[in-house]
Each structure stands twice: as C-alpha cells, then as structure tokens.
Chain A
Amino acid sequence: MVVACVSSHLRRTGDGAKTFIILLCHLLRGLHTVIDKEQDSLISKNIQTHRRHWKNCCQWKFISQALLTFQTQILDYIMDHYLSKHFLTIFSSSTEERTLCRSSLELLLEAYFCGRVGRNNHYFISQLMCNYFFKCMACESGFEEVFDLVDDYFVELNVGVTGLPVSDSRIIAGLVLHRDFSVYCPADGDIRIVIVTETIQPLFSASASEFILNSEAQFQTSQFWIMEKTKAIVKHLQSQNVKLLLSSVKQPDLVTYYAGLNGISVVECLSPEEVSLIQRVMGLSPFILPQASSQYEICNTASVKFCKPLTLRSKRYVHLGLISTCSFVPHCIVLCGPVQGLVEQHEGALHGAFKMLRQLFKDLDLSYMIQTSDQNHTSSPLTYKDSRESNPLPEIVNGLIQRPYQGTVVKNKGNLAKTQTYLKVYSNLVVPSVELETCIPCSTPKVTPTDTYQTNETLRCLAPTKTRTIDDNEPFIESNSANSTAENTGIEISSENLQVTKIAGKGNMLPVREKSLEMCTSQSYCCSTLPAGCVLPVGGNFEILLHYYLLNYTRKCQQSEESVVSMIIANALLGIPQVLYKSKKGKYSFPQIYIRTLHALQTSQPIVSSQKGLESVAGKYQLLTSVLQCLTKILTIDLVINIRRQPREMYDQDSDEEV
C-alpha cells in the first residue's frame, strides 16, 4: 500500500519518493514512541484528558483523524502565515508579466537531476532540459501550457537512441514521428498536411450492412468504382496542395500507390497520442471523407515548414516542421545512451522534471479554518510570535486584522513617501538573475523581523479593488524597535523580497478580498493562494522552517491532540535534513546547520544556505500532504488478512451471474 501511495504521488509530482519513505518512517516511529510513553506513564496532562480514547482499541484511528485535521487546517495555516515569507521566486522581474529567470531554473533543475542522473551526465542533462524548455516556449506567458503539453505527450516528444554516447543527445526543431514514411516524395515550398483516421479507399461493405452481388460484372464495376473513387480523392488532395497524408490506420496498397503517383507522402499507423498532439499543436482536426459528392473543399489542412526523413542510427523517422498555433513551439529531444536502460533512466528523469515544473508553476490553493469567534484566540499566533521577538505590538483593535505579509517592506510613517519611491524604483528594475543569488545574503542584517503590516480591513471591504498595490492600502505602521533603521531598510531590502511581495500581492488579490468579506461577517473559513513559482534553497530548508514554526504553534496551542500531532510531524520533518547532512562534517554537519538556522530565525535574519540548488515549495507541500494521507490510511487498518487469490472485484461476480 505504501508503494502504491508513493507511486501515485510520483505520478503526479515527479519528485520526492525517497523523502516520502523517510518521512513516513519517522512519523511512524514518532507515533510509536508517543504511544509507548502514554501507556507507560500517563503523566502528560494534555493527553490524559483523552486517555479513554487512547486506551480503547481505536486509538490509531483517533490519531489518524487528528492527522487529517492537521493536514487540512494547521498545515495550510502555517504555510500561509509563517513559511510564505521565506519563499523565493523563480521569476526574475517584478513587472506585470512574469519572466522566467534562467539561472534560477538551472539551479532548480540541477538540484532535481542531482540524484536522478549519474554524476557525469547530470550537468549536461539539466542544461539540455533548460535549453529545451526555452526553445519550446514561444512567449513568456505561455509556459503553463508548455508544461501541460510536454508532460502529457512526453513519450511522443522524445526519441531514444542507443549505442551513442550521452553527450550526443540534442534538441531538434519540429516533431519526430516514431516511424518511417510509407511513401516519401521530396517536396518543398508550401507543404500542406491532412490527417485521416480511416482508410481513404471505400470498401465494399460497411460494418453491419450487406453487399449483394448478383453478377460478375457487377463485382468488376464496383471494384472499378472503388479504384476511380480513390484516385479522385487523392487527385483532389493533390489539387489542394496537400503533400503529406498522416493516417492513424494502415491504408491499402492502392492508396499509397496513387499517393506516390501524385507526389503525396504518406505516413501510416500513427498512434492516437501522436494524432492528438498534432491536433493540439496545429489546431488541425482530422479530415473526414465526404460520402456523396465529389466536389468539396478540404478545410482541414495545415501547412508545415518541412517534412523529411530523419535517420538516427540506422533507424528512420519522419521529421515534421510543424507550425504551432499555440504557445508551444514543437521541439524534440533526441536522447542518446550506450544502453537502453540508461536512456530510459534519463527519459524518466526528464519526465519527472517536467512534472515537477508543472506543479511548480501552478498556484497552490491553501484553505484553513480560523476561529474568529474569539478575538484573542484569532490573534494569538501573531501576538505570540511578536512577543517572542520581544517586540510587543500595539493591541489588536476590534475589526482590524493584522496579517503578516511576505517579505514586505518595513515602513515608517514619516518615511512613507520615501520608501514608496524606493519601491517604485525597484519594481521598475529588471533585476539580473545573478543578483538574485547575491542579494539574499547582503540584505541579511537590516531587514527587520516584523515584516508585517496591519491593514484596516474595514477599509479594504469598502474599497476591495484597491488592495492590489501596496500604495493604495493604508498601512498601520508598527512602532517597533527598527524605527530608526527604517529608512535604511527601505533601501536594503533585497529586490528578491520585493518581487515576492509583488507577485504575492497579485496572486493574493482575490482571496484577500474574499477573506476580508468573510472576516467582516466573522466567519471562520479562510483561503489563500501560494503564488506559482515559489522555491526554497535545497538542503532541508523547508523542513527546518516548518519544524520551527510547528513547534511554535504547538507551544501556544490549547488543543492537546493537535499539539501532539504537530509535535510528531515537526520532529519527523527534522529527520530529512538529518539524513541529508549525515555524511557532512564540521561546519556543515546537521547540528551546526540546525542551530544556525534556528538562530537566524529567532533573530529574524534571513537564512543563509550553503547550497546553491533550489527546490519547489509546491512539491514539498504536496509531498507532505501525500505522506499524511498515506499515514492516515495505514493507521486505519488494524488487521492484515492473507488470502491466496486476488480479491475479487465487484463486477466479476455480476458477470458470473450473467453467464
């Protein structure tokens, strides 16, 4: 069952199978220790109240329910409120349209391929993938479509070649069909193609009909008619300047003969996936044979740039230069390798990478419950946080909600105008991608902890459209200890943080409005969105951060089972960086890293990561939810019954009865 869960997770996200298992093990181990302790001593006050639940035999089920609640409520809440301010983004500019930053993408891919492709080829493959992606992307905005398409039709878009070194792998413009021409007639100029899904040659009888022959002459004339009809269709195709016939079925000899005579190349037996790929890329629908009339217009044609045979290691393929109508510019990857197994491994890794990116570039919806009935309770996490930072906030005003905002600028009332100009300056800057890396450490000391600002929710409700830009909000400026340095921080805030803000602001626009409305009516349901393209540095950063915030959450949490579950998960999460840094020594050993990160968090400095690679936040989030789902499933089972045969499916019985 675990394997099934892992593979279904992998199919969706293409990443994190090993982390899945490790996390699951740690979780189970953590649960065991908790329960043992519970049974031995029964000292924990929180747990004691629930003793009767735990003592009866459905205690596991109880835990699993607690896990589910955690997954649906606490996790999303923490992701949105605390973690999101640490996220970096993969886009390189803060302007309206998001441009993809190449170097960040490279870092992301390198980190991804690190464990999947042999060390000698790992850099080469990630470069290949990066090139491929940028070649396929027609415009900046259409990358979601590109990912969807490449992921769906990955098999059709790559060609494996064995017997050549991996370094011979390359990218070819156009589409390579995995078969040879049945008839090839060299053609250039305006080449038009049609797709057919049935044989062009009419048959004697269609299915479920009878063809009655009364004489030999009738047979001959009908054969003659078929021949003439085929000839006429092919002639007509030729008159429409059709030079290539793509067929999903095998055409009779007669058709290929006439096609050859008329200078039409034929490719037969296309797979349904190939047909649908061509349809999607070119917006071309199959050509349906007219039944009656002989004069008709063929509207379903499309032109291609070229159409030629391609020989890769003695195998011949059809190479088409499709002209794309969508944002995907067709390219194919030719993957070489000495053995089939290695080629397959690389194919798998590339496919996984596309899945991972596809996930990354989707907005992640978070929804969670907040108990707004009790106001102290609502704000408790925030107040708690602030008090920890020894930076007491002004009391929370009724009807006002205070929201932490990702990496937002700290502003002082007096410096408001000034900071805003900085904002503008930064937002107009297209930051070079290299800066992205260097900016993070340099902006460290001055950015103040309370990257939060209070917004008058009532105001927002009145003018919800204005929430879009920061300038239109009327921020309540915190009076904090950083007042004196506020002016400086305005300058030194890294452009990185700013980008995040902008994008987050945009992404959050709708949910924020929703939320505010709900808040006004004192409702408790809340949803928010993680913007697409969030990344974190690799090396267990996500886990350590989540661990830290979960612990904080537990400390002020009243509900016992929640806190227990959060504890378990927080500790299990720590197991992953522990494994990662196992082999490292000295400065980079796990305790060192952990202490440094915690210290940075407590003093609210940005975390400096020793590693350059990046990983997707969405992927991590998905992973965590999948693990929790799997754990829930495992915990609900109390007995495994071994049987000889496969369990019978329900419909089997039905069919048996029918027979």
Chain B
Amino acid sequence: MSRLEAKKPSLCKSEPLTSEKVRATLCVLKGILTSSYGPSGRLKQVHNGLGGCVCTTSQSSALLSNLPVTHPILKILTTSTKNHVSCFSDCGLFTAILCCNLIENVQRTGLTPTTVIKLNQHLLRLCTNYLKSESCGCRIPVDFSSPQTLLCLVRSIVTSKPACMLTREETDHISALVLKAFLLTIPENTKDRLILGKSIIVPLKGHRVLDSTVFPGILIEVSEVQLMKILPIKKSNAFKVALFCASLSGDLSDTGEGTMVVSSGVSLENAVLEQLLNLGRQLVSDHVDLVMCQKVLHPSLKQFLSMHQVIAIDRVGVALMEPLSKVTGTQPIGSLGSISPSSYGSVKDLCPAKFGFKHFLHLIPNEATICSLLLCNRNDTAWDELKLTCQTALHVLQLTIKEPCVLLGGGCTETHLAAYIRHKISNRRTSAGKNHQLQVPAGKDVHCLSYKKWSIPAPQPMTSCHQPELLWFFSNGLLFKTILLDFLLLQKITLLCFVCWTCLWFC
C-alpha cells in the first residue's frame, strides 16, 4: 500500500524572487558555488549525519546532485545547470554562479521583469555575436597539428578540479594521458563521417597517480586463478575470437505460454548440455582461440574449452559488449545452433598484465579506436573525482572537433566581454540618448561576475594589448575553455534567467 500523506492545499505565491527567504537561500547557494570555483577553490565534503560514504568534491555535477534543494526556483537553477553539464560536461559552476549573480543584480536594479527579459536577450545576442565573430580578441583557433593548445585545454580542466589532489607533475602526466587517450580514439582513415571510438576508464585505486597509463585495446579484469588456468598463452600472429551475447549457462530458453509436459526419465538439462558441448566442438573445430560471453558459461563447457586450449571468459557485462565487438570485429552471437563463420573476429595479440593487485587480460587489436585508460589515485574519493575530470576533459576534446576554437581562460574572456559590452553601451548611450539608458545598469550586472570572481577592480575598457597584464595572477599560465562551451553557456544562463523571470511574471 502506498503511504498516505496529508493533502496540502496548493500554494500560490506572487513574485517569488522578491521574497526574503529566496534571496537568502540563493545567497547561500552562491556562496557554496563561488567558494569552490577555480583552481584555488575550496573543497566541499558532502555526507549525511548517519555515516556512509563521504564525497569530497568541488565539481558542480557532484555538488549539485548531492545538494538537497527544495525551493522551486533553486530547483530550476540547479536542474538546468545539471542538464547543461550533462550536455557539455564543463562549466557547471560558472553557469550557476553567473545565474545567481544575474538574479541578484537584476533585483538590485529594480527593473520590471519584462524589461529584464528584453535586456537579457539583447545582451546575449551581443555577446554571442561577438564571440562568434572573427574580431573577437579572446578567441584562438585550435591547431590540431601541434598538441600545445589541446594540452593547455586539458590542463586547464584538470587544474580547475582541486579535489583530484594532484601535484604539478601528476597534473602534467594526467593531461598528457587524457590527450593521448583522445588521440587513440580518432580513426586513422576516415571516409565521409568521423566516428570517434571510445576510451574505457579502468579503475585502480590505492596507487600512485603516476602509475596511470593508456593502452590501445581493451583490458578485461580476470581473477588470478582464472589467469593461471589460461596461461601460458600459445603464440600465434592472430587470435580468432567468438563473442556470445546469449547465455551459455544451460538454462532452458523461453518455452512459450503453454505448458510443457516432460515424460519421466527425460532430462532436459542433459539435452541442453549436450547442445552446449556440440557448440563447444564446433568452436574447437573452427579453431577459435578466445571465447567471451556476456552472461554465464556452463562450467562443463568451460572445462571442455580449456581442455582444448581455448581461452574462455564469461560475465563480461553488457557495457563491454559494444567495445569488444568493435575491437575484435565480431558479431555478438545470439544462437546456440550452428555459428556462421562471419561472426568470428580476431585480435592481434593477447597478453596477461598485472597492475597493482589486479590481473588483466589485454586484448591488442589490429586497428581499432578503442583504448583503455588505467586510472590510479590514492583513495576512493580522489579517484572518483579524477575519473569525472578525465571524462569531462575527453568530452571537451571531442567537442573541439566540432568547433575548433578555444577561448582564453582565467577570467580573461569574461573581463574582455564585460569591457566589450560596456563599450558598446556607452557608445549607444551617447548616440541614442535616454531610450537606452535602461540598458546600462543591466549591462554592468551581467558581467559583475568576472570582477567579483577574481576580486580585481573592474577594468577600464581595454584593448587586446592589455590582456597579458591580466594574466599574472594565474600560476598555471593560460587557461583555456572551448568557445563552444562558453557561448552555449551564456545562452544557457540567460535562458535560465528568463525561466526564472517568466515564472515571476506569470505569478
């Protein structure tokens, strides 16, 4: 029975944004987010009072999904940030902070919501047009022939996640690994469409970060006992592979809706086993060297296969099926009957590997776009954070292929953009008079963020020659962000605000 809850009367509130309570909670949220932003951001530890696992993080995705948000307006804000992050991986905190700032500053100006909506739309168009235009001073095209720009991009993502607990040396190492993993997923010869491969992140906790490595192909974790049985692997120049997606455990397949009457003395299990062994015989006679199954292999079949020097691995799991069929070029087999020879695939080499306390079987492909990133970190929470970081970085790199442009990081772009808007509006004010006066306060507000965030005085309208001077406060050198991320982000933020304001308007 479902739990009964007293029915509450529906609640109608007008102008929700103006209430003091909302302002206070928004302020708290902003405080949490701003304090964890950037390379020198502070970490947040999320845990519940009853114990259990503790999450130490400064990333928006982890933070926002764990925060208990109750107020509808904050819910809109956090969910749209989360949705943005799930689309573009990066810049979640930036989105949320900018949004909070916009709401706060707009309230301070006391403009009507409808004006704010119009102004935001106008300013947004101004920003996106400028960022897309060639004349944009903070835009750099990505040069795919040299790794420098891409490496900087990855570095900026990795350094902005302090919860990974990386030293300078480790940061360099991880950035290089991520870039390498990304490059391994790009196919060598493409026809018309570029289909990127996949990097599989393999966990290895409790080890030094510097032990992390990247391999082409797939690492399948096997137990030591299993590996001992497999060894020694006979040498040949190619291994024939069969990949099963059907269960080979010997259970009966679906028998239909009707009843099945079995005479006494007839053992269906035996019949199925007999069928499995027949399958094994066929595999052996087809000179298959490696049999992998998504589900369970019957012990007798396993025994039979290992007797004939066929390596059998079961319980691969559905997640690995697609990469496996890509690496080996097999078609997952769903039948226990005769197998068509076209379903077999092959790998170039097969070797056992041991990293830390874990044993792996390494499948080395002839030519494939799948690679494994063995990721090490000292403890669980740091590893989780590092994994998220690497996924983010890989996704951002993929996006750069779509839009090969990056923006200067470290607040450069934001300051520059703020100056640009300021400049535009002051021009219009002098020319157009009072009609545009309204835009000035809002224009300031949009970009108060950048000044506040880096706690520097608001800059004078600047030209590109001033830019290098602004960079001194970053120990890490240039930070990069993809242009794609940034301008979609801006759009997003403004949109968000519109959502909030339209709520207000309708109430």
Contact = CB atoms under 8 A, between A and B. Distances in A.
B5 interface: no
Interface string B250-263: 00011111111111
B87 A164 contact: yes
A256 B259 CA distance: 26
A341 B271 CA distance: 55
Nearest to B80: A338
A353 interface: no
Nearest to B278: A220
Contact of A213 (B261, B334, B337): B261
Contact-residue bracket for chain B: 35 or more
B342 interface: yes
Interface string A42-82: 00000000000000000000000000000000000000000
Nearest to B81: A338
B340 A120 contact: no
A253 B343 CA distance: 14
A118 B498 contact: yes
B261 A227 contact: no
A118 B502 contact: yes
A142 B334 CA distance: 47
Interface string A203-218: 1111111111111110
A333 B340 CA distance: 42
Interface string A308-352: 000001100000000000000000000000111110000000000
Given A213-B268, A220-B271, A253 B334 contact: yes
B496 A338 contact: yes
A16 interface: no
Interface in A228-266: 252-258, 260-261
Given A252-B334, A257-B245, 10 more contacts: A120-B121, A206-B257, A207-B257, A211-B255, A211-B258, A211-B260, A216-B266, A254-B335, A313-B86, A342-B499
Interface stretch (B351-359, B415-423, B487-495): B487-495
B262 to A, nearest CB: 5
Contacts of B266: 213-216, 219
Contact of B337 (A206, A212, A227, A339): A227
A257 B342 CA distance: 12
A213 B258 contact: no
B472 to A, nearest CB: 35
A338 B257 contact: no
Contact of A338 (B84, B267, B271, B505): B84
Contact of B259 (A163, A205, A260): A205
Nearest to A208: B258
Contacts of B496: 338
B340 A339 contact: no
Given A165-B492, A206-B257, A213-B266, A253 B271 contact: no
A18 to B, nearest CB: 11
B499 A205 contact: no
A476 interface: no
Contact of A119 (B83, B117, B491): B117
5 contacts: A120-B502, A163-B87, A165-B492, A216-B274, A314-B86
A379 interface: no
B78 to A, nearest CB: 10
Specify which of A166, A261, A314 lies most central, judged by the most chain B CB atoms within 10 Å of its CB. A261
B257 A203 contact: yes
Contacts of B268: 213, 216, 219
B255 A119 contact: no
Contact of A339 (B258, B336, B499): B499
Interface of B: 76, 79-80, 83-84, 86-88, 114, 117, 120-121, 245-246, 253-263, 266-268, 270-271, 274-275, 331-337, 340, 342-343, 488, 491-492, 495-496, 498-499, 502, 505
Nearest to A313: B87
Contact of B333 (A121, A213, A257): A257
Specify which of A255, A339, A342 lies most central, judged by the most chain B CB atoms within 10 Å of its CB. A339
A258 B335 contact: yes
A525 interface: no
Contact of B343 (A119, A164, A205, A261): A261
Interface of A: 118-121, 162-167, 203-217, 219-220, 223-224, 227, 252-258, 260-261, 313-314, 338-342
Contacts of B86: 163, 313-314
Specify which of A207, A220, A253 lies most central, judged by the most chain B CB atoms within 10 Å of its CB. A253
A220 B259 CA distance: 18
B258 A209 contact: yes
A216 B252 CA distance: 13
Contacts of B334: 252-258
B274 A211 contact: no
Contacts of A219: 266, 268, 271
Contacts of A215: 263, 266
Contacts of B83: 162-163, 338-340
Given A219-B266, A260-B331, A253 B261 contact: no
Nearest to B83: A163
Given A119-B502, A220-B271, A253-B246, A211 B257 contact: no
Specify which of B86, B499, B505 lies most central, judged by the most chain A CB atoms within 10 Å of its CB. B499
Contacts of B275: 220, 223
A246 B263 CA distance: 39
| CB-based closest 4 A-B pairs | A205-B258, A203-B256, A257-B334, A253-B334
Contacts of A224: 337
Contacts of A205: 255-260
B350 to A, nearest CB: 25
A118 B499 CA distance: 8
B415 to A, nearest CB: 24
A375 to B, nearest CB: 55
A214 B261 CA distance: 9
Contacts of A227: 335-337
Nearest to A213: B262
A3 to B, nearest CB: 11
A338 B492 contact: yes
Contacts of A258: 334-335
B342 A207 contact: no
A341 B336 CA distance: 47
Nearest to A340: B79
Contact of A261 (B79, B340, B505): B340
Contacts of A209: 258-259
A14 B243 CA distance: 53
Given A120-B117, A206-B258, A216 B271 contact: yes
A81 to B, nearest CB: 39
